[in-house]
């Protein structure tokens, strides 16, 4: 069996142990005589699976008891409109724009603004950075102007496409926001390091980056923020109804919840999110260290303190070599390194499931490529 090093930004690599366990249990889950895909979501067996998944996630992130964990559908993109529809309560909401995903969040919120509440950009790094459309750093303090009456303050804590990450777990931003609840899109770095959930009103993440299969999005919402949804809200989109029904108003994405649960168990076996942070730090230091020391052959455009540990975009000094780089990388078993079309160049996504050996293999290839083409 040939597994490649998969640097895809999402859907992305899953731990091999998890895939093997899912394979072993695929046709007969724990003696039930059926696959998780085939069992009723209302049955006892699936109840065990979803309860364990929630309990393990709560353990991993130390989720306080006054927060609900919701297993939702529609992806992070649907949440971009679902969040104002649920939380804005006809008031204005503040948004920080630091990359493509937070920009999309604004656009989606604007679509529902007539019924949900106004959208206000409280700070933006658009066109302020070194690349064409900016987004090569997080906002500086003086670039953020907050509305103390805002219904919430939305932030994307890891911009997957540009590789910009908030490094301090929003300690500074939460302090500035005061009573205004922080709503954080953590799709591409959730579970990569510890988080103080109590700093946030809501955290959400599409599963397909750093959790499990696509089709599932996880939300962690403070209870006092529930029950403010617009009156015309479809019941499938109402967080309070999802919470009341244990994420099972209707059929949830059962297989995705099951595999995500296996990933949570795998994370606990690795030592939890604090241990993952150590490994992720080493992986990122290795790759950025090599890029920065390559005498300009490779370059990462993001301000050093704001660089993402999960998504590492980089360009070749000579972009005419891009195609041959990608072709040779693929032949060497290093897959999905092509950068996002809006940035160009390359991007290595090195989520939890990417071991240090994978990053070492990438760096060795990059060294060899630079030697041959420098
Ligand atoms: C991928 C991504 C999204 C969009 O996720 P979908 O599940 O495709 O809707 C949103 N935010 C961030 C930070 C992402 O990385």
- Tell me whether domains 17-269 and 271-373 share a fold: no
Centre of ligand 1 to C-alpha 87, Å, is: 20
Within 13 Å, how many C-alpha atoms sit on residue 236's CB side?
A: 7
271-373, what's its fold?
Answer: 3.90.1150
**Mean pLDDT over residues 346-365, rounded?**
98
Structure tokens at 350: 């090195």
List the chain domain ranges: 17-269, 271-373
CA of 83 to the centre of ligand 1 (A): 14
pLDDT > 90: what percent of the chain?
Answer: 95
Rounded mean pLDDT, 318-338: 97
Block residue for tokens 């364990």: 52
In the chain, which ranges are continuous DSSP H helix? 16-24, 44-61, 75-87, 100-116, 171-177, 207-210, 239-244, 254-269, 272-292, 322-331, 356-373
Give mean pLDDT, residues 15-30.
Answer: 98
Residue of 9, 77, 163, 214 with the most ligand 1 atoms within 8 Å of its CB, for mutation:
77
Q: How far is the CA of 48 from the centre of ligand 1 (A)?
A: 28
Does 206 sit in the ligand 1 pocket, CB within 6 Å? yes
Q: For residue 206, report the phi and psi dihedrals to the nearest 5 degrees.
A: -65, 140
Judged against a pLDDT cut of 60, whether residue 103 lies above it is answered with yes
Residue 242 vs residues 39, 86, 179, 347: alpha-carbon distances, Å: 21, 12, 25, 36
Burial of 246 (0-12, 13-18, 19+ CB in 10 A): middle
75 C-alpha to ligand 1 centroid (Å): 7
Beta bridge partners of 205: 218
User: Residues 171-191: pLDDT tens digits?
Assistant: 999 999 999 999 999 999 999
Average pLDDT over residues 51-57: 98
Q: How far apart are CA 48 and CA 218, in angstroms?
A: 18
Contact 103, 133 (CB under 8 A): no
pLDDT of residue 207: 98
Region 295-319 average pLDDT? 97
- State yes or no: 42 annotated in a binding site: yes
Please list the active-site residues.
101, 185, 209
Whether 60 is in the pocket of ligand 1, judged by its Cβ within 6 Å, is no
Alpha-carbon gap, residue 13 to 355, rounded angstroms: 10
Ligand 1 pocket: which of 71, 73, 75 to mutate (most atoms within 8 A of CB): 75
- Apex 186 CA angle, 195 and 63, nearest 5: 35
Which atom of ligand 1 is nearest to 207's Cα? 7
Mean residue pLDDT across the chain: 96
**251 labeled binding residue:** yes
The per-residue pLDDT for range 117-170, each reduced to its tens digit, is 999 999 999 876 555 567 999 999 999 999 999 999 999 999 999 999 999 999
The sign of the torsion formed by the CA atoms of 58, 62, 63, 64 equals: positive
Q: Check pocket membership of 280 for ligand 1, CB cut-off 6 A.
A: no
Residue 153: predicted pLDDT: 98
Put simply, whether the predicted model's pTM sits higher than 0.95 gets the answer yes
Confidence of residue 374 (pLDDT cuts 50, 70, 90): confident
- In this prediction, residue 342 carries a pLDDT of 79
The protein residue whose alpha carbon is closest to atom 12 in ligand 1 is 187
* Residue minimizing CA distance to atom 3 of ligand 1: 76
pLDDT confidence of 1, banded at 50, 70, 90? low
What strands lie across the sheet with 217-222, from one edge to the other? 67-72, 217-222, 202-206, 182-185, 153-156, 93-97, 119-124
For ligand 1, say whether the CB of 160 is within 6 Å of any of its atoms. Answer: yes
Q: Is 367 in the pocket of ligand 1 (CB under 6 A)?
A: no
CB 144 within 8 A of CB 176: yes
Are 361 and 14 within 8 A, CB to CB? no
Domain 17-269, second-level architecture: 3-Layer(aba) Sandwich (3.40)
Question: Per the annotation, does 171 bind a ligand?
Answer: no
Does 250 carry a binding-site annotation? Answer: yes
């Amino acid at each position: 069996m040939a597994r490649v090093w998969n640097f895809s930004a999402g859907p992305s690599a899953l731990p091999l142990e998890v895939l093997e366990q899912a394979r072993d249990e695929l046709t007969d889950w724990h003696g039930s005589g059926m696959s998780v895909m085939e069992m009723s979501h209302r049955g006892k067996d699936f109840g065990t699976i979803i309860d364990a998944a929630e309990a393990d996630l709560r353990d991993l992130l130390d989720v306080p008891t006054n927060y609900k964990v919701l297993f939702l559908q529609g992806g992070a993109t649907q949440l971009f409109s679902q969040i104002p529809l649920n939380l804005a309560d006809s008031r204005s909401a503040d948004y920080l724009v630091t990359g493509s995903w937070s920009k999309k969040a604004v656009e989606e919120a604007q679509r529902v603004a007539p019924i949900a509440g106004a959208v206000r950009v409280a700070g933006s790094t658009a066109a302020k950075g070194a690349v064409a459309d900016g987004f090569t750093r997080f906002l500086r303090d003086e670039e953020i102007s907050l509305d103390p009456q805002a219904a919430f303050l939305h932030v994307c804590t890891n911009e997957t496409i540009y590789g910009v990450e908030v490094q301090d777990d929003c300690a500074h931003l939460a302090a500035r926001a005061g009573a205004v609840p922080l709503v954080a899109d953590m799709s591409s770095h959730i579970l990569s390091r510890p988080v103080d959930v109590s700093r946030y009103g809501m955290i959400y993440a599409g599963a397909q980056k750093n959790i499990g299969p696509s089709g599932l999005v996880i939300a962690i919402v403070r209870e006092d923020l529930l029950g403010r949804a617009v009156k015309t809200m479809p019941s499938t989109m109402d967080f309070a109804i999802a919470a009341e029904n244990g994420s099972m108003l209707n059929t949830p994405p059962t297989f995705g919840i099951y595999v995500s649960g296996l990933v949570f168990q795998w994370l606990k076996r690795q030592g939890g999110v604090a241990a993952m942070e150590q490994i992720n730090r080493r992986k990122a230091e290795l790759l950025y260290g090599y890029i920065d020391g390559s005498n300009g052959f490779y370059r990462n455009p993001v301000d050093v303190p704001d660089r993402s540990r999960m998504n590492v975009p980089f360009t070749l000094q000579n972009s005419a070599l891009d195609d041959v780089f990608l072709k040779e990388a693929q032949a060497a078993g290093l897959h999905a390194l092509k950068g996002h079309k809006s940035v160009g160049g390359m991007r290595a996504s090195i989520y939890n499931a990417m071991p240090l050996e994978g990053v070492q293999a990438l760096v060795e290839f990059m060294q060899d490529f630079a030697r041959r083409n420098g």
